[in-house]
Amino acid sequence: MLNAKNSLVGLFALLASAAAALPAHAGDYMSINIGKFDAFDDTHDATQFGAEYRGEYLGYNIRPIAGGFFTSEGSVYGYAGLNWDVEILPQQLYIIPNFAIGAYSEGDDGKDLGGTLEFRSGIELAYQFPNAHQLGVALNHISNASIYDRNPGEETLMITYSVPLNTVSNLIGGH
């Protein structure tokens, strides 16, 4: 469990330094999340804590993402991928499908997902406040797509809170 916590502290430090080093744009976001790992299986009842950088749009409301999480059972997952922000109500309500690829470690007591290379697909429903902060609920599936002999997969159900990167940069930089 200590290695998972150290890994997440390192991940948060890396994301925070990247946030401070990058030019701040209203389209960049830092997102934190908390939820249930393996949400539909009581075998590995674990809480998940994570952070995600959501970059400036590449086009067609598609943005790059990079992030990671750890669980109360010691699992760690780091990933990179894409989000697609689909406006349901302009500047207010979004459906956000996503896809990512990453590296997973079950840790000491976590769930064995069959191997290190794991794929994540999911969807988020997010409400955007007038200050551009977003509050959402997300459901993700993580699986190795049967590239290993064992592929149990898992689902995470999370609450997300996303803040424009320029807000984070102003807090860190003191502007």
Which tens digits make up the pLDDT trace of 83-107? 999 999 998 999 999 999 999 999 9
Supply 98's token pair: 């996503």
Whether residue 5 is predicted with pLDDT greater than 70 in this model: the reply is no
Which of 96, 89, 93, 87 lies closest to 31, judged by CA? 96
What is residue 20's predicted lDDT score, i.e. its pLDDT? 47
Q: What gap in Å lies between CA 156 and CA 151, rounded to an integer?
A: 16
Q: pTM of whole model > 0.95?
A: no
Per-residue pLDDT of 49-83, as tens digits, reads 999 999 999 999 999 999 999 999 999 999 999 99
CATH fold, domain 2-173, is Porin (2.40.160)
Q: What gap in Å lies between CA 86 and CA 83, rounded to an integer?
A: 9
What is residue 118's predicted lDDT score, i.e. its pLDDT? 98
Helices 165-173 and 2-21 pack at an angle, to 10 degrees, of: 90
Residue with tokens 């409400």, as numbered in its chain: 127
Interval 116-127 mean pLDDT: 98
What is residue 166's predicted lDDT score, i.e. its pLDDT? 85
List of E strands, the chain: 29-37, 46-54, 62-71, 76-84, 86-89, 93-105, 117-128, 134-143, 154-164
Q: Give the C-alpha distances (Å, rounded to integers) separating 102 from 68, 79, 90, 99, 164.
A: 9, 4, 32, 10, 24
What is residue 11's predicted lDDT score, i.e. its pLDDT? 52
What is residue 45's predicted lDDT score, i.e. its pLDDT? 82
Instruction: Tell me which DSSP letter residue 24 carries.
Output: P
Per-residue pLDDT of 105-119, as tens digits, reads 999 899 999 999 999
Domain boundaries, the chain: 2-173
